[in-house]
């Protein structure tokens, strides 16, 4: 009886699917395609994320949640793509991305989040590997003639995700992604119009703060033109 109730509750909280395809899209990044009838008609705004239940397979208590942006979703398709970055170690999210394989069952929450494209005369994106997944979906969502600028930092040249529009690529080459000066310098070098546009900053929390400080203090942007979403923080687990 208790098990049936728990099952019903989990069914209401989670969407159930199955991994149908996995592709290595960069040295440490894998695109994980999830398919299933429940995915048809799932509402999604590009930039939104889901929380994947990791640990106990489909809908069993005891798993942990980890957050992943949706790279691509077409409701008519009955599938969606996530891209997991393997930052190393044995933490649940990194291990899941590393070991995902077709045939595995998966439960995840419905798409949510307000990190989505806004009105602006131009758009600036800055972040590292994890952020580039959301950026891909958001850039694809913009009209073809929208002005897009930005910088993406990754560990090495093979770690960059192929994005729908060209953003400046920089590598940190072994330096920490946390509090990264490499990304701030790359944004500083962007040749942006004089008037502020709208910026989207995601990834490691301290790096985001530093990029925002640059836009606000050095370029004179208002804080409300800068949309930030911390994706992870050193030493903290399962942010968001």
Q: Which residues bind ligand FAD (CB under 6 A)?
A: 49, 66-69, 83-85, 87, 91-94, 113, 130, 133, 177, 229, 231-232, 234-240
Nearest to 101 by CA among 48, 178, 24, 156: 24
CB of 96 to ligand FAD, least distance (A): 7
Nearer to ligand FAD, 85 or 149 (CB): 85
Pairing label, strands 123-127, 148-154? parallel
Q: In angstroms, give the least distance from the CB of 97 to ligand FAD.
A: 6
User: Nearest 5°: phi and psi at 11?
Assistant: -65, -30
Nearer to ligand FAD, 80 or 187 (CB): 80
Nearer to ligand FAD, 137 or 196 (CB): 137
DSSP line for 111-179 = PB-S------SSEEEEE-HHHHHHHHHHHHHS-TTS-EEEEEEESSGGGPPP-SS--EEEE-TTS-STT
**Exposed/middle/buried for residue 55 (C-beta within 10 Å: 0-12, 13-18, 19+):** middle
CB of 5 to ligand FAD, least distance (A): 28
Choose between 9 and 239: whose C-beta lies nearer to ligand FAD.
Answer: 239
For residue 229, the minimal CB distance to ligand FAD (Å) is 6
**188, 216, 201: which is closest to 124 by C-alpha?**
201
- Residue number, 177 or 199, with CB nearest to ligand FAD: 177
Q: Among candidates 190, 154, 188, 185, which has minimal Cα distance to 169? A: 154
Looking at beta carbons only, is 59 or 93 nearer to ligand FAD?
A: 93
Question: What gap in Å lies between CA 150 and CA 168, rounded to an integer?
Answer: 6
What is the longest distance spanned by two Cα atoms in the chain?
64
- Closest distance between ligand FAD and the C-beta of residue 131, in Å? 7
User: At closest approach, how far in Å is the CB of 227 from ligand FAD?
Assistant: 12
């Amino acid at each position: 009886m208790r098990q049936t109730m728990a099952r019903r509750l989990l069914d209401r909280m989670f969407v159930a699917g199955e991994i149908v395809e996995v592709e290595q899209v960069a040295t440490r990044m894998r695109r994980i395609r999830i398919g299933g009838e429940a995915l048809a008609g799932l509402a999604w705004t590009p930039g939104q994320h889901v929380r994947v239940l990791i640990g106990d397979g489909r809908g069993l208590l005891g798993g942990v949640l980890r957050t992943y942006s949706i790279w691509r979703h077409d409701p008519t398709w009955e599938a969606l793509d996530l891209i997991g970055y393997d930052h190393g170690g044995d933490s649940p999210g990194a291990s899941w991305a590393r070991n995902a394989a077709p045939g595995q069952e998966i439960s995840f929450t419905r798409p949510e989040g307000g990190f989505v494209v806004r009105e602006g005369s131009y758009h600036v994106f800055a972040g590292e590997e994890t952020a580039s997944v959301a950026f891909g979906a958001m850039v694809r969502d913009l009209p073809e003639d929208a002005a897009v600028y930005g910088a993406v930092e990754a560990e090495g040249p093979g770690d960059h995700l192929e994005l729908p529009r060209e953003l400046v690529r920089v590598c940190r080459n072994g330096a920490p992604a946390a509090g990264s000066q490499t990304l701030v310098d790359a944004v500083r070098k962007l040749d942006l119009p004089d008037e502020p546009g709208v910026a989207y900053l995601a990834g490691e929390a301290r790096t985001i703060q530093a990029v925002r400080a640059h836009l606000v203090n050095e370029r004179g942007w208002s804080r409300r033109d800068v949309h930030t979403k911390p994706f992870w923080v050193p030493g903290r687990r399962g942010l968001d």
